[in-house]
Amino acid sequence: MSEPTPSVPPVSVVLAGGGSAGHTSPLIATAEQLRVLAPGVRLTAVGTARGLETHTVPAAGLPLELIPPVPMPRRPGPDLLAVPGRLRRAVADAAAVLRRVEADVVLGFGGYVSTPVYLAARRLRVPIVIHEQNAVPGLANRLAARFTEHVATSFPDTPLPHARHLGLPLRTAITALADPGLDRAALRRETRTDWGFRDDQPLLLVTGGSQGARSINTAVLGAKEQLLARGIQVLHVLGGKNVTAADVEVVDPGTGAAYRPVGYVDGMERAYAAADLVLCRSGASTVLETAVAGLPALFVPYPVGNGEQAKNAVAVVRVGGGRLLPDADCTAERLTDLVPGLITDREQLAAMATATRSVAVVDAAERLARLTLEVAAGGTPGRRTTTGNTEGER
């Protein structure tokens, strides 16, 4: 009588990322595809109590483990001196999570949440896959790229060793906008009707990301009367904390064009479908979501940081799908001069839409999920590190 075949535990994937939608959105999109490709997969997300992952990750049906945050202070001082101790505690907590869930692979999306998880995985010899969403890589992923050859990027020219351009994992609600069988005209009418916009006038979508953008908001508020007078409708996503009592709907009595301010949009894919042109920051998610949607863009890169937003926009701008507008030039006067000539030129908008779609990678989430499962299958299973010390732990 033959021996019974021992049961094989499901693949255990730990996903590290948080703090902002730029990290959590691709994490959730990839988790969706991991479940499609490996229905029995065991998924565990790691974040901190500071980030929006405490809301978005559980809402996506993912178990969430919290570790202490270890932000890197921008200036020397007591907080900088405390970093080594905080990091040791966070790495220890991350290692405990990896042992408890018997991790076969760590998939990290950068940010300060990921660093302790990367270090814990290296200590326990759990294979690492990293995804860098920005054209200019962050500190955590620059560090992790020294530990692994499995490096995926959103943009083709991201300077990381072993970089493989897979694109940015996006939610299926966004990638559905690239479906060649989609009736775009019908969806446009439907989404405009939902917001009370007309279908016979151009619509400008304005968004500064989940937190909003002060310079963009100020410029649009100053230009709205002139835009409405030209028959240009405006859907203005101010950011939840930026809405005041003064932000009310305005309808031009002559043209009937409406300005509608909202704090946020639950389901940006519908806003993309309704719009003819978007005025926005150029975070990686915004750049590549609008590319998938085929939505021409005026990008206003955030002027603070290491310049990653300006470089994120390069791929779309280079092919003619968008234009760059420096933050200092984003004024009411400039928008009044620039937007009408662009948004009313249907032929030019159509060419820009075709160009920006050429940059999109629609199946990035599936490609990253497949890579992660391949690495898990070929690496040392985390379940082997659940007892005792290994050489890497000494």
Annotated binding site for UDP-N-acetyl-alpha-D-glucosamine: 20-22, 134, 171, 210, 309
Task: State the residue for tokens 């940015």.
Answer: 168
Strands 258-262 and 250-251: antiparallel
Closest alpha carbon to 282 in 265, 302, 255, 266 = 302
Tokens of 325: 């507008």
- Cβ pair 235, 275 in contact under 8 A: yes
- Cβ pair 12, 382 in contact under 8 A: yes
Q: What is the DSSP letter of 168?
A: -
Q: CA 303, CA 316: separation in Å to the nearest integer?
A: 19
Residues comprising the binding site? 20-22, 134, 171, 210, 309
Q: According to DSSP H, which parts of the chain are helical?
A: 21-37, 53-59, 78-81, 83-100, 114-124, 139-144, 172-175, 184-195, 214-229, 268-274, 284-293, 308-312, 314-319, 332-343, 346-357, 364-378
CA distances from 158 to 109, 134, 141 (A): 14, 8, 11
Please name the helix (run of DSSP H) or strand (run of DSSP E) that holds residue 43, with its range, or none. Answer: strand 42-47
